Amino acid sequence: MRGSVALRHLERWSRWLGLGLSVAGGLVVSAQPAFSPDLRGPTLELAEENDWFAGTDRHYTQGFRAVYLGAERSPSHGIKGFAAYGLRADTWRWGFEIGQSIFTPGDLTVKYLLPDDRPYAGWLYAGPVLQRRGVLPGSGLPVLENIQLQVGVVGPGALAKEEQNTAHFAGGFAQAAGWHNQLGNEPGCALKYQRTWRWSPSQSRDWNIELLPHTGASLGNVDTSARMGATFRAGWRLPDDFGIQTIDSLGVTDGGRTSGASAQRPGFYIFGRVEERAVARNEFLDGSLFRQNSPYVDRRPLVCELQGGAVWVMARLDLVFMMVYRTKEFEGQSCEDAFGALAAHIKF
């Protein structure tokens, strides 16, 4: 009982902290941290998320994503007519992502449908990414804008059953018995938008701290939500980027190599992130949109996520490890969820 009360207090204070950090980020726009206009080269990020790192095997149980971002270009090359909406865009780049996410109920040994637990589901997707990097006019505060369109399939066509059972067999774990109850095949899409600001009390790229508030939204049958939050990071030789993103974030990790004096030297930092989500639809909780009699659970409208991790920064490679804690997503959920993530961010 005491643990449940503590978790409720943590959820409540995390929500207020996320709001406070985001508001604080808006109040410091008069600061002018260093912004590098140098164009960055291509990047490739490979990310793996798994609840094995948290010692569990339930709900959001595994995800993989690969994201390729091309080299940055100046606004004079091919994107003049794109509306700025308060952003003076100094660079832009296109990219492409492909990924898979797997969801299961808490008990994998049961063959029949568990009506009070989230259904089995898989999500296989791909799509384009557009990033614009610049500053707030008049203040010089660095800004990153991220737009993604994810299109794919939910259901057996996502190959989640095959992926999980193959991994369980290879690792010596029991096979999941209830995949025949998974959500049926249907197309899925999500249009995602996120804007992130970066503030620092110092222009030093050696020992420093930074606050990165963000806000955004997603629209689609897979995910319709609005989000706001902030990242705090501290370390040695912080990179000139906007932080690490999880697989279901509204953005993808930016960055890349430059050829000038601002090229990245080896460094290290730790970070913490809080995000509050107002969820209007989640395919993996609400069930299939285009099919009748689909399994579903009663989704909670507000979800809080806490992240913490470390990043080792090198000239051509960043290595990331983080842990993620997420509050209950549906009514009747027995406990909160957690998972870990490993990522390699390759800079060409």
pLDDT tens-digit map of 307-332? 999 999 999 999 999 999 999 999 99
| The pLDDT of residue 77 | 58
From first to last of its 348 residues, the chain has per-residue pLDDT tens of 334 434 444 444 444 444 443 433 443 333 344 445 589 999 999 999 999 999 999 999 999 999 999 999 987 655 555 556 777 888 999 999 999 999 999 999 999 999 999 999 999 999 999 999 999 888 889 999 999 999 999 999 999 999 999 999 998 898 999 999 999 999 999 999 999 999 999 887 789 999 999 999 999 999 999 999 999 999 999 999 999 999 999 999 999 998 765 566 899 999 999 999 999 999 999 999 999 899 999 999 999 999 999 999 999 999 999 999 999 999 999 999 999 999 999 999
| SS3 assignment, position 254 | coil
Dihedral of CA atoms 49, 289, 109, 170 in degrees, nearest 10, equals -40
Could you tell me the residue range of the domain that residue 71 belongs to? 2-347
| The pLDDT of residue 202 | 87
* Domain at 135, CATH number: 2.40.128.140
Q: What is the pLDDT of residues 136-173, one digit of tens each?
A: 888 889 999 999 999 999 999 999 999 999 999 998 89
| The pLDDT of residue 56 | 94
| The pLDDT of residue 334 | 92
| The pLDDT of residue 84 | 63
What is the DSSP annotation of 257-323? --SSTTPPPPEEEEEEEEEEEEEEEEHHHH--SSSTT-----B-SEEEEEEEEEEEE-SSEEEEEEE
| The pLDDT of residue 260 | 62
Q: Scanning the structure block, which residue is given the tokens 């406990």?
A: 335
Strand ranges for the chain from DSSP E: 43-50, 59-69, 88-104, 121-135, 142-154, 186-197, 207-219, 223-236, 267-282, 302-313, 317-326, 337-347
| The pLDDT of residue 12 | 47
For residue 5, with 0-12 CB atoms within 10 Å meaning exposed, 13-18 middle and 19 or more buried, which class applies? exposed
Number of domains in the chain: 1
| The pLDDT of residue 86 | 72
What is the Cα–Cα distance from 338 to 326, expressed in whole angstroms? 6
Q: Phi and psi of 43, rounded to 5°?
A: -135, 155
Q: Is the dihedral of CA 318, 321, 327, 330 positive or negative?
A: positive
8 Å CB contact between 321 and 268: no
Eight-class DSSP state of 330: B
8 Å CB contact between 277 and 51: no
Q: Scanning the structure block, which residue is given the tokens 């069930």?
A: 287
Show contacts of 162-168: CB within 8 Å, 24+ apart.
163/62, 163/100, 163/102, 163/122, 164/61, 164/62, 164/102, 164/104, 167/62
